[in-house]
Amino acid sequence: MSLTLEHIARLANVSRSTVSRVVNDEPNVRPELRERIWQVIRETGYQPHAAARSLVTRRTRIVGVIIPEALTKLFTDPFFPRLLYGITETCNARHYYLNLALCNGPAGQEEMYRRVLGSGNLDGVIVASAQLSDPIFPKLLGNGVPFVLAGRHPDERVNYVDVDNVGGARMAVEHLLRLGHTRIATITGPLTMTSGEDRLTGYRQALEAQRMGIDEQLVVEGDYTEGGGALAMRRLLAASPTAVFAASDVMAIGALKVLREVGRRVPQDVALVGFDDVTIATAVEPPLTTVRQPIGQLGSMAADLLLDLLEKPQGPPGQAPSVQAARIVLPTRLVVRDSCGALL
């Protein structure tokens, strides 16, 4: 026998209308009563009829996550599972469904955007790891779908949650300066992404604060992949850096492999610092000094910001409610391990 609202109401000792208000996320239900009803729903496995509910509320309780990256990168970079874990935790806790939208490179991007945004099935969208020029932003702003970006965006209409990329990179380079290094190279992230721009800015700020000029031979752009880090490190070898700040741990691992290939020891010959503090940072030898960013919290807070926007709208589409900051920047911190030489 399939469960109904009447069954849930009897088990929770409330009226059917109260259960209906809770299921449809309507106000004017006491928090303790709301939680009791959801507890019964969880225990019984009751599934509210999504189509019927959306007719009442004009909402589907489905949130889309759009990651415009190649599938190979998505499933090999440990950043993305942590981010998705944080988003999923929040959506589960607040009784929303998650729709993950992926494409395998630029060729399928336009079709994926048309299909996802044109379906009418999404209440809102979280966008992660997008290029500044990505066509998703004008599309979202144009059709009024509420969205939040996991990462900084310069457009004042875009809600986002980000980490302190500038401050984190600056901390990393300042640490290398304190260790006595003067030829500090950097492998940047893609400079078409704000995280890549901001981490390069932090690198430059740290050197400029010490009145050190920027040697452009020590700056090579990467792409947040191990292969990209290795390629960038090969280009840097001719400049003879004594230290390298890589804008991601995955790129730092690529750089480490190249340094080993050419017989340069880490940290004795070249100190190495990454960014992210993903699991691989402690799995390599020597363990990687890195800037820790709270990736799971980044995903969780992006989801919370979007759901608050959906549930408490107080302005035009695309703007955050006044009770919730539209732009949140989470702190980063330096984690010192063996690869920088400070612990030797």
What digits encode the pLDDT tens for the residues 146-187?
999 999 999 888 999 999 999 999 999 999 999 999 999 999
Q: What is the pLDDT of residues 295-315, one digit of tens each?
A: 999 999 999 999 998 887 655
Domain with 310, as residue range(s), is 62-161+295-329
Cα–Cα distance list, 330 to 149, 152, 154, 319 (Å): 14, 11, 17, 20
Q: How many CB atoms lie within 10 A of CB 333?
A: 14
Closest CA to 103 of 129, 141, 142: 129
- CATH number of the structural domain spanning residue 26: 1.10.260.40
Mean pLDDT of 114-138: 85
Number of folded domains that form the chain: 3
Model pTM above 0.85: no
Residues 207 and 288 in one domain: yes
Same domain? 185 vs 262: yes
Domain match, 151 and 171 both: no
End-to-end CA distance of the chain: 68
How far apart CA 237 and CA 336 sit, in angstroms, is 24
Q: Give the residue carrying structure tokens 């469904």.
A: 97
At 344 the pLDDT is 63
Three-class secondary structure of residue 263 per DSSP: coil
The SS3 assignment for 188 reads strand
Q: Same domain for 50 and 86?
A: no
